[in-house]
Amino acid sequence: MIKIFLISFVYLFSNCTGNKSKKIELKTINDSIAIQSQIDSKETISQKDTISKPLPNQIIDYAKTLIGVPYKYGSTDINVGLDCSGFITSVYNHFNIKVPRSSVDFTNYGKKIEWNNVKPGDLILFTGTDSTIRNVGHMGIIISKNNEIEFIHSTSGKDYGVTTTPLNKYYQGRFVKVIRIL
């Protein structure tokens, strides 16, 4: 669909420039589309449609810039504060990726990942604070898997905001699953 739009755009652009247009190329490179239109021998206009997905480390790097943003229930505004799913929404929206707004809506979203295949950038889902109710109620982004899983999330607990946390016994008892959306 995007390719059809871009081809139409190039066609219209080439017709709007009159007879000056000499060459138009459409190249597809690794899920990205590059459009190049040569108007005359001295001027070339290039445009790249970045439809490629960000790498997990780009997601993690941006998420880490939000460490210290306070917790605010129901908010996706980094200037006011973030709840756990608001944090995830804000991070992915930064990369123009639409995700569900509520943590419970991630229950059937993405691809479930088996524990031995977990990678940094995957989302880790937990129950709410009452671990006996097995519905998703909290979430974070896995940032490391070396000796111990560590994740970044917005918590209403002791740290009260965006922070990193090891997968300790408290969170192990609340663990629901890991999903991948990238």
Residues with a catalytic annotation lie at 84, 138, 153
Say if CB 108 and CB 144 are below 8 A apart: no
**Cβ partners under 8 Å of residue 159, min gap 6:** 165
DSSP 95-150: TT----SSGGGGTTSSEEE-GGG--TT-EEEEE-S-TTS-SEEEEEEEEE-SSS-E
76, two tokens: 């996706």
155, containing H or E segment: strand 150-155
The closest of 103, 109, 93 to 140, measured between CA atoms, is 103
Radius of gyration from C-alpha coordinates of the chain:
22
Tokens 């871009």 belong to 6
